[in-house]
Amino acid sequence: MDKKRLILIGMVMIAALLLAACSPAPAEEPGNAANGETDGPSDPDSAEGQTEEQGGVTEETEQEAAPPVTDPDFDPQPPDPQMVEIPSADGRILEGYYFPASVPDAPVVVLMHWAGGNFYDWTAIAPWLQNRSVVLDWPDADVDGPWLDPSWFPSMPEGVSFAVLVFNYGGYGNSPGGSSRQALLDDSLTAIQYASSLPGVDPHRISALGASIGADGAADGCYLFNDLGELGTCVGAFSLSPGDYLTDQFTYQEAVSVLDLDGRPVWCLSAVEDGGSARLCQDLMGDLARRILYAGSNHGMRLILPDYYPTDPAVELDTMQLIQEFLEEVYGLTLNDVSLP
């Protein structure tokens, strides 16, 4: 055997020995690794990592689908509304009240008043949302209307409780400053920002509800708050007679469109003879956006009347019941036995 052939055979034998030394050990069964910490395949697309379509629901799926359990150690704040001071973007202090919920990590509703009133317009609606049997007696209240009489409101189910924030725009009540369009827009955003910081609330479950200037404030403030992308999430807006009152920077429809793309519903309510408000609601676009029209020319809070039902869609649901329907959609709750087509 020549020298070159011997060298070649030797190299082949060395390579075989090296390959044998580098071969991996037999794979262990999931969950039986030497350190005892392996839980199975980490690939969610693997066969073992998927839930079977037939043969029942896995224990893990049942746990995920189960509703959250109320913390037995949770001690809710007293139900009485708390006076709060809300710092505005330009250094003013807006007056407001915080109505704590009876549940932990509560969804929060920000109520925005119209130009014809102030936060006293929510004297009955805020406690109704809070659902803690609070009856307010505010001697300074200087508003009037059937929305101050809760006797005709639909009931809230036991165990359902929203945290609520009401406030006065600048130039209303004891909130200083002029009510310029920019200030009203800034105050709408400021209120939602403040709501996200309230104790006991879930900052990712904020909704806004307003009338007239507050109707714009609800949608515009919701859009601007989500655009910040830092403090929480506004999950939807409910507008009674919006009118593009607050800004020239963008339109009500543009705010609705952005919210719609993010999966955030906006409901627009107006009487058909209410000029610009009617046009905004009639022309509203968006997969989740909903327009609700009434007969006549009632504006803002005057859409909140007993036995006053929309004509488009034609259903026997008053505005308070429609508010419940909106809250059902944005928070995934069941609040009544009626439904809006």
CA 193, CA 34: separation in Å to the nearest integer? 51
**pLDDT tens digits along 283-294:** 999 999 999 999
Strands (E), 65-200: 82-87, 93-99, 106-112, 163-167
From the number of C-beta atoms within 10 Å of its C-beta (0-12, 13-18, 19+), residue 331 rates as middle
Strand partners, 254: none
Q: How many CB atoms lie within 10 A of CB 51?
A: 10
Cis peptide before 313 (omega within 30 of 0): yes
For residue 118, give the nearest of 303, 319, 301, 326 by alpha carbon. 301
Q: Which residues contact 47 (CB under 8 A, 6 or more apart)?
A: none
CA 130, CA 109: separation in Å to the nearest integer? 9
**pLDDT tens digits along 212-269:** 999 999 999 999 999 998 889 999 999 999 999 999 999 999 999 999 999 999 999 9
Which pLDDT tens digits describe the chain residue by residue (341 residues)?
Answer: 443 333 333 443 433 333 334 344 333 333 333 333 333 323 323 333 333 333 333 333 333 333 443 555 667 889 999 999 999 988 999 999 999 999 999 999 999 999 999 999 999 999 999 999 998 888 777 888 999 999 999 999 999 999 999 999 999 999 998 778 999 999 999 999 999 999 999 999 999 999 999 999 999 999 999 999 888 999 999 999 999 999 999 999 999 999 999 999 999 999 999 999 999 999 999 999 999 999 999 999 999 999 999 999 999 999 999 999 999 999 999 998 888 88
Backbone angles phi, psi at 279, to 5 degrees: -65, -45
- Cβ pair 283, 300 in contact under 8 A: no
Q: Which residues contact 111 (CB under 8 A, 6 or more apart)?
A: 119, 122, 125, 126, 164, 165, 166, 209, 210, 214
- Cα torsion for 316, 234, 245, 320, to the nearest 10°? 20
Q: How many CB atoms lie within 10 A of CB 123?
A: 20
CATH class of residue range 82-331: alpha beta
Q: Which residues contact 39 (CB under 8 A, 6 or more apart)?
A: 30, 31
Per the document, the length of the chain is: 341
Strand partners, 240: 211, 269
Strand partners, 270: 293
Q: How far apart are the first and last CA of the chain?
A: 94
- Cβ pair 211, 197 in contact under 8 A: no
Per DSSP, 25 falls in state P
pTM flag (> 0.75) = yes
Q: 45: which 2 tokens?
A: 């697309």
CA 173, CA 93: separation in Å to the nearest integer? 12
User: What pLDDT, on a 0 to 100 scale, did the predictor assign at position 71?
Assistant: 59
- Cβ pair 106, 73 in contact under 8 A: no
Per DSSP, 263 falls in state T
User: What pLDDT, on a 0 to 100 scale, did the predictor assign at position 70?
Assistant: 52
Strand partners, 96: 84, 167
SS3 258: helix
CA 22, CA 164: separation in Å to the nearest integer? 66
CA 284, CA 107: separation in Å to the nearest integer? 26
User: What pLDDT, on a 0 to 100 scale, did the predictor assign at position 138?
Assistant: 82
